[in-house]
Protein backbone atom coordinates (compact mmCIF):
# COMPACT_ATOMS: atom_id res chain seq x y z
CA UNK A 1 0.00 0.00 0.00
CA UNK A 2 2.61 2.53 -1.09
CA UNK A 3 1.74 6.03 -2.29
CA UNK A 4 3.72 8.57 -4.31
CA UNK A 5 3.55 12.29 -3.59
CA UNK A 6 2.57 14.55 -6.50
CA UNK A 7 2.07 17.92 -4.83
CA UNK A 8 1.78 19.57 -1.42
CA UNK A 9 0.42 23.06 -0.76
CA UNK A 10 -0.22 24.81 2.54
CA UNK A 11 -3.71 26.32 2.86
CA UNK A 12 -5.61 27.64 5.92
CA UNK A 13 -2.91 26.28 8.20
CA UNK A 14 -3.27 22.75 6.84
CA UNK A 15 -2.06 20.94 3.74
CA UNK A 16 -3.64 20.03 0.43
CA UNK A 17 -1.79 17.05 -0.99
CA UNK A 18 -2.08 14.93 -4.12
CA UNK A 19 -0.87 11.36 -4.36
CA UNK A 20 -0.88 8.47 -6.81
CA UNK A 21 -0.86 4.77 -6.05
CA UNK A 22 -1.25 1.46 -7.82
CA UNK A 23 -4.77 0.24 -7.13
CA UNK A 24 -5.19 -3.50 -6.83
CA UNK A 25 -8.97 -3.03 -7.01
CA UNK A 26 -9.01 -1.00 -10.23
CA UNK A 27 -5.88 -2.53 -11.81
CA UNK A 28 -4.42 0.85 -12.71
CA UNK A 29 -2.65 3.85 -11.23
CA UNK A 30 -5.05 6.14 -9.36
CA UNK A 31 -4.72 9.68 -8.06
CA UNK A 32 -6.41 11.17 -5.04
CA UNK A 33 -6.30 14.44 -3.10
CA UNK A 34 -6.37 14.85 0.66
CA UNK A 35 -6.77 17.95 2.79
CA UNK A 36 -5.24 17.64 6.25
CA UNK A 37 -6.39 20.40 8.62
CA UNK A 38 -3.91 21.99 11.06
CA UNK A 39 -5.25 19.80 13.89
CA UNK A 40 -3.82 16.75 12.10
CA UNK A 41 -0.31 17.83 13.13
CA UNK A 42 -1.05 16.87 16.74
CA UNK A 43 -3.94 14.39 16.64
CA UNK A 44 -5.91 12.08 14.41
CA UNK A 45 -8.92 13.66 12.70
CA UNK A 46 -12.10 12.24 11.08
CA UNK A 47 -12.53 12.11 7.30
CA UNK A 48 -15.14 13.33 4.84
CA UNK A 49 -14.95 11.43 1.55
CA UNK A 50 -16.03 13.53 -1.43
CA UNK A 51 -17.17 11.92 -4.70
CA UNK A 52 -17.20 14.17 -7.75
CA UNK A 53 -19.45 14.09 -10.81
CA UNK A 54 -19.20 13.32 -14.51
CA UNK A 55 -15.99 14.47 -16.25
CA UNK A 56 -14.39 15.55 -12.94
CA UNK A 57 -11.16 14.47 -11.25
CA UNK A 58 -9.85 14.88 -7.70
CA UNK A 59 -9.15 18.54 -8.45
CA UNK A 60 -12.60 20.07 -9.07
CA UNK A 61 -13.89 19.99 -5.52
CA UNK A 62 -10.62 20.96 -3.85
CA UNK A 63 -10.15 23.98 -6.11
CA UNK A 64 -13.72 25.22 -6.57
CA UNK A 65 -15.90 24.30 -3.60
CA UNK A 66 -14.41 26.62 -0.97
CA UNK A 67 -14.50 23.85 1.61
CA UNK A 68 -10.97 23.98 3.01
CA UNK A 69 -11.39 27.00 5.30
CA UNK A 70 -14.30 25.34 7.10
CA UNK A 71 -12.52 21.97 7.21
CA UNK A 72 -9.55 23.71 8.84
CA UNK A 73 -11.81 25.31 11.43
CA UNK A 74 -13.61 22.07 12.22
CA UNK A 75 -10.58 19.78 12.19
CA UNK A 76 -11.88 17.57 9.38
CA UNK A 77 -9.81 15.85 6.71
CA UNK A 78 -11.26 15.66 3.20
CA UNK A 79 -10.37 12.93 0.71
CA UNK A 80 -11.31 13.28 -2.96
CA UNK A 81 -10.64 10.32 -5.27
CA UNK A 82 -10.79 10.40 -9.05
CA UNK A 83 -14.13 9.57 -10.69
CA UNK A 84 -13.01 6.47 -12.58
CA UNK A 85 -10.00 4.28 -13.36
CA UNK A 86 -7.69 5.76 -15.98
CA UNK A 87 -4.66 4.86 -18.03
CA UNK A 88 -3.52 2.80 -20.96
CA UNK A 89 -5.66 -0.29 -21.37
CA UNK A 90 -8.62 1.05 -19.37
CA UNK A 91 -11.79 0.66 -21.45
CA UNK A 92 -13.64 3.81 -22.51
CA UNK A 93 -16.83 4.64 -24.40
CA UNK A 94 -16.21 3.79 -28.05
CA UNK A 95 -17.48 7.23 -29.10
CA UNK A 96 -15.73 9.13 -26.30
CA UNK A 97 -18.98 10.21 -24.62
CA UNK A 98 -18.65 12.24 -21.43
CA UNK A 99 -21.28 10.24 -19.50
CA UNK A 100 -19.76 6.77 -19.78
CA UNK A 101 -16.26 5.36 -19.43
CA UNK A 102 -13.33 7.52 -18.38
CA UNK A 103 -14.42 10.13 -15.86
CA UNK A 104 -17.78 8.39 -15.40
CA UNK A 105 -17.28 5.35 -13.19
CA UNK A 106 -20.65 5.74 -11.41
CA UNK A 107 -19.23 4.29 -8.18
CA UNK A 108 -20.36 0.74 -8.92
CA UNK A 109 -18.67 -2.62 -9.55
CA UNK A 110 -18.91 -3.41 -13.26
CA UNK A 111 -19.75 -6.99 -14.22
CA UNK A 112 -19.83 -6.63 -18.02
CA UNK A 113 -16.61 -7.07 -20.06
CA UNK A 114 -14.38 -5.26 -20.76
CA UNK A 115 -15.34 -2.79 -18.03
CA UNK A 116 -15.26 -5.41 -15.28
CA UNK A 117 -11.44 -5.47 -15.53
CA UNK A 118 -11.09 -1.95 -14.11
CA UNK A 119 -14.38 -0.29 -13.19
CA UNK A 120 -14.74 -1.41 -9.57
CA UNK A 121 -15.23 2.03 -8.08
CA UNK A 122 -17.62 0.85 -5.38
CA UNK A 123 -15.05 -1.50 -3.86
CA UNK A 124 -12.36 1.15 -4.28
CA UNK A 125 -14.26 3.82 -2.32
CA UNK A 126 -15.67 1.47 0.31
CA UNK A 127 -12.64 -0.72 0.95
CA UNK A 128 -9.29 0.05 -0.67
CA UNK A 129 -9.17 3.84 -0.39
CA UNK A 130 -10.15 4.12 3.31
CA UNK A 131 -7.59 1.46 4.24
CA UNK A 132 -4.95 3.37 2.29
CA UNK A 133 -5.87 6.70 3.91
CA UNK A 134 -5.93 5.28 7.41
CA UNK A 135 -2.58 3.58 6.89
CA UNK A 136 -0.75 6.70 5.66
CA UNK A 137 -2.38 9.72 7.31
CA UNK A 138 -3.26 10.87 10.85
CA UNK A 139 -6.97 10.11 10.59
CA UNK A 140 -9.47 8.14 12.64
CA UNK A 141 -11.89 5.52 11.37
CA UNK A 142 -14.72 8.06 11.75
CA UNK A 143 -16.00 8.65 8.20
CA UNK A 144 -18.74 10.56 6.43
CA UNK A 145 -19.40 10.80 2.70
CA UNK A 146 -20.66 13.44 0.29
CA UNK A 147 -20.72 14.13 -3.43
CA UNK A 148 -22.17 15.97 -6.41
CA UNK A 149 -24.34 14.70 -9.29
CA UNK A 150 -22.93 11.28 -10.26
CA UNK A 151 -20.88 11.58 -7.07
CA UNK A 152 -24.03 12.41 -5.13
CA UNK A 153 -25.47 9.16 -6.46
CA UNK A 154 -22.31 7.44 -5.27
CA UNK A 155 -22.44 9.02 -1.81
CA UNK A 156 -26.11 8.13 -1.31
CA UNK A 157 -25.81 4.53 -2.48
CA UNK A 158 -22.57 3.87 -0.63
CA UNK A 159 -23.95 5.41 2.56
CA UNK A 160 -27.19 3.46 2.29
CA UNK A 161 -25.33 0.19 1.70
CA UNK A 162 -22.77 0.79 4.47
CA UNK A 163 -24.56 2.46 7.40
CA UNK A 164 -22.03 1.17 9.93
CA UNK A 165 -19.08 2.60 8.00
CA UNK A 166 -20.32 6.17 7.44
CA UNK A 167 -21.69 8.43 10.17
CA UNK A 168 -23.56 10.77 7.81
CA UNK A 169 -24.28 11.29 4.11
CA UNK A 170 -24.88 14.42 2.05
CA UNK A 171 -25.19 15.28 -1.62
CA UNK A 172 -25.58 18.13 -4.05
CA UNK A 173 -27.81 17.53 -7.08
CA UNK A 174 -27.57 13.72 -6.87
CA UNK A 175 -28.86 11.28 -9.46
CA UNK A 176 -31.45 9.90 -7.05
CA UNK A 177 -33.25 7.31 -9.18
CA UNK A 178 -30.77 6.16 -11.86
CA UNK A 179 -32.89 3.25 -13.07
CA UNK A 180 -35.29 5.97 -14.31
CA UNK A 181 -32.61 8.38 -15.57
CA UNK A 182 -30.95 8.45 -19.02
CA UNK A 183 -27.52 8.82 -17.40
CA UNK A 184 -28.17 5.93 -15.05
CA UNK A 185 -29.73 3.62 -17.64
CA UNK A 186 -26.79 4.12 -20.01
CA UNK A 187 -24.24 3.50 -17.27
CA UNK A 188 -25.99 0.51 -15.76
CA UNK A 189 -26.54 -1.17 -19.12
CA UNK A 190 -22.92 -0.56 -20.11
CA UNK A 191 -21.35 -1.64 -16.82
CA UNK A 192 -23.84 -4.23 -15.56
CA UNK A 193 -25.59 -5.56 -18.66
CA UNK A 194 -29.30 -5.97 -19.31
CA UNK A 195 -30.26 -7.75 -16.07
CA UNK A 196 -32.13 -4.92 -14.36
CA UNK A 197 -32.15 -6.77 -11.05
CA UNK A 198 -28.44 -5.92 -10.84
CA UNK A 199 -29.26 -2.26 -11.36
CA UNK A 200 -31.39 -2.08 -8.21
CA UNK A 201 -28.36 -2.46 -5.92
CA UNK A 202 -27.08 0.94 -7.11
CA UNK A 203 -30.33 2.92 -7.01
CA UNK A 204 -30.82 5.17 -3.96
CA UNK A 205 -34.60 4.99 -4.03
CA UNK A 206 -34.60 1.20 -4.15
CA UNK A 207 -31.95 0.94 -1.42
CA UNK A 208 -33.69 3.41 0.88
CA UNK A 209 -36.99 1.57 0.54
CA UNK A 210 -35.31 -1.62 1.77
CA UNK A 211 -33.00 -0.06 4.37
CA UNK A 212 -32.90 -1.46 7.89
CA UNK A 213 -30.39 0.98 9.41
CA UNK A 214 -30.64 4.73 8.98
CA UNK A 215 -27.86 7.27 8.40
CA UNK A 216 -28.51 11.04 8.75
CA UNK A 217 -28.78 12.48 5.23
CA UNK A 218 -28.78 16.00 3.76
CA UNK A 219 -29.48 16.75 0.08
CA UNK A 220 -29.36 20.18 -1.57
CA UNK A 221 -30.90 20.66 -5.01
CA UNK A 222 -31.03 23.82 -7.12
CA UNK A 223 -34.42 24.73 -8.60
CA UNK A 224 -32.78 26.02 -11.83
CA UNK A 225 -30.76 22.86 -12.44
CA UNK A 226 -31.06 21.93 -16.12
CA UNK A 227 -30.91 18.24 -15.21
CA UNK A 228 -33.49 18.33 -12.41
CA UNK A 229 -36.54 16.73 -14.01
CA UNK A 230 -34.98 14.33 -16.50
CA UNK A 231 -31.90 13.06 -14.67
CA UNK A 232 -31.96 13.79 -10.93
CA UNK A 233 -35.50 13.20 -9.55
CA UNK A 234 -34.97 14.22 -5.89
CA UNK A 235 -38.71 14.29 -5.22
CA UNK A 236 -38.85 10.54 -5.86
CA UNK A 237 -36.22 10.01 -3.16
CA UNK A 238 -38.07 12.35 -0.81
CA UNK A 239 -41.28 10.38 -1.28
CA UNK A 240 -39.51 7.14 -0.42
CA UNK A 241 -37.98 8.80 2.65
CA UNK A 242 -41.40 9.95 3.85
CA UNK A 243 -42.89 6.50 3.39
CA UNK A 244 -39.93 4.86 5.15
CA UNK A 245 -39.48 7.46 7.88
CA UNK A 246 -35.89 7.91 6.75
CA UNK A 247 -33.97 10.87 8.26
CA UNK A 248 -33.48 12.76 4.99
CA UNK A 249 -33.55 16.55 4.73
CA UNK A 250 -34.06 17.70 1.14
CA UNK A 251 -33.56 21.42 0.57
CA UNK A 252 -34.69 22.92 -2.71
CA UNK A 253 -32.56 26.02 -3.25
CA UNK A 254 -34.33 28.63 -5.37
CA UNK A 255 -32.49 29.90 -8.45
CA UNK A 256 -29.40 27.70 -8.14
CA UNK A 257 -28.11 25.49 -10.96
CA UNK A 258 -25.88 22.40 -11.24
CA UNK A 259 -22.53 24.18 -11.02
CA UNK A 260 -19.80 24.56 -8.42
CA UNK A 261 -21.18 28.04 -7.68
CA UNK A 262 -24.10 26.16 -6.14
CA UNK A 263 -21.82 23.83 -4.19
CA UNK A 264 -19.70 26.73 -2.91
CA UNK A 265 -22.84 28.50 -1.69
CA UNK A 266 -23.86 25.69 0.66
CA UNK A 267 -20.73 23.61 1.32
CA UNK A 268 -20.31 25.15 4.78
CA UNK A 269 -23.73 23.82 5.77
CA UNK A 270 -22.72 20.34 4.64
CA UNK A 271 -19.41 20.30 6.48
CA UNK A 272 -21.08 21.49 9.68
CA UNK A 273 -23.80 18.87 9.19
CA UNK A 274 -21.15 16.14 9.01
CA UNK A 275 -19.22 17.62 11.94
CA UNK A 276 -22.17 16.92 14.23
CA UNK A 277 -21.98 13.21 13.49
CA UNK A 278 -18.19 13.06 13.47
CA UNK A 279 -18.17 14.42 17.04
CA UNK A 280 -16.57 17.71 16.01
CA UNK A 281 -19.30 20.06 17.24
Active-site residue, 265 included: no
Task: Report which of 29, 71, 32 is spatially closest to residue 52, judged by C-alpha positions.
Answer: 32
Q: Report the share of the chain in percent with pLDDT over 90.
A: 99
pLDDT of residue 134: 98
Active-site residue, 95 included: no
Sheet with strand 217-222: strands edge to edge: 4-11, 14-23, 28-36, 77-81, 45-51, 139-148, 169-172, 217-222, 248-253
Q: What is the pLDDT of residues 180-225, one digit of tens each?
A: 999 999 999 999 999 999 999 999 999 999 999 999 999 999 999 9
pLDDT of residue 212: 93
pLDDT of residue 1: 79
Band (pLDDT 50/70/90 cuts) for residue 274 is very high
Rounded distance, CA 148 to CA 263, Å?
8
Rounded distance, CA 281 to CA 88, Å?
45
Helix (H) or strand (E) holding 183: helix 182-192
Rounded distance, CA 23 to CA 229, Å?
36
What are the φ and ψ backbone dihedral angles of 233, each rounded to 5 degrees? 55, 50
Catalytic residue among 149, 168, 170, 173: 149
The CA-atom distances, in angstroms, between 105 and each of 81, 112, 115, 120 are 11, 13, 10, 8
Across residues 149-174, what is the average pLDDT? 98
Q: What is the pLDDT of residues 247-261, one digit of tens each?
A: 999 999 999 999 999
Question: Pairing mode, if any, of strands 28-36 and 4-11?
Answer: unpaired
Rounded distance, CA 42 to CA 191, Å?
43
Active-site residue, 149 included: yes
Q: What is the pLDDT of residues 98-147, one digit of tens each?
A: 999 999 999 999 999 999 999 999 999 999 999 999 999 999 999 999 99
Helix (H) or strand (E) holding 243: helix 234-244
All domains of the chain, ordered by start, with CATH?
3-274 (3.40.50.1820)
Rounded distance, CA 170 to CA 156, Å?
7
Amino acid sequence: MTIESISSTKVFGGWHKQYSHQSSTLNCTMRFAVYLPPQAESQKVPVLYWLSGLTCTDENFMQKAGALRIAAELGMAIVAPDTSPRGEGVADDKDGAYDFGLGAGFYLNATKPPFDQHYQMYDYVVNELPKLIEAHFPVTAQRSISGHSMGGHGALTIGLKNPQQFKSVSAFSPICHPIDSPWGIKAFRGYLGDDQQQWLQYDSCELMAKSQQFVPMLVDQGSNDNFLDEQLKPQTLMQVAKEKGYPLELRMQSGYDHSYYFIASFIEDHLRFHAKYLSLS
